[in-house]
């Protein structure tokens, strides 16, 4: 049961975080460079570490914040890749594994 809660929380976290980023960028009306996007995402994720609702994905939130703080890494791209994996988990599975 914990695994289902973990997957749901991680999926919701990624979706809500990306949605927050896109709404914030749309409100600015200008181009938002990747380092500013990372800052927006970090500010959104930091309070979620202490929130008890995200207790199953606390480790992942800390990893996302760590990725966002590194200057050469793109947190938005990492979240999009994770979202693609979560949407279709059987995409990379071979016929023998099915």
Q: Give the per-residue SS3 of 12-71.
A: HHHHHHHHHHHHHHHHHCCCCCHHHHHHHHHHHHHHHHHCHHHHHHHHHHHHHHHHHHCC
Q: Is the pLDDT of residue 35 over 90?
A: yes
Residue-wise pLDDT tens digits, 41-73? 999 999 999 999 888 899 999 999 999 999 889
Mean pLDDT of the chain: 86
């Amino acid at each position: 049961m914990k695994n289902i809660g973990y997957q749901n929380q991680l999926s919701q976290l990624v979706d809500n975080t990306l949605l927050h980023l896109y709404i914030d960028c749309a409100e600015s009306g200008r181009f938002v460079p990747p380092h500013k996007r990372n800052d927006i995402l970090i500010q959104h994720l930091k309070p979620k570490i202490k929130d008890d609702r995200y207790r199953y994905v606390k480790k992942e939130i800390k990893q996302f914040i760590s990725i966002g703080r590194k200057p050469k890494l793109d947190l938005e791209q990492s979240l999009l890749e994770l979202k693609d994996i979560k949407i279709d988990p059987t995409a990379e599975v071979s016929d023998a594994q099915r």
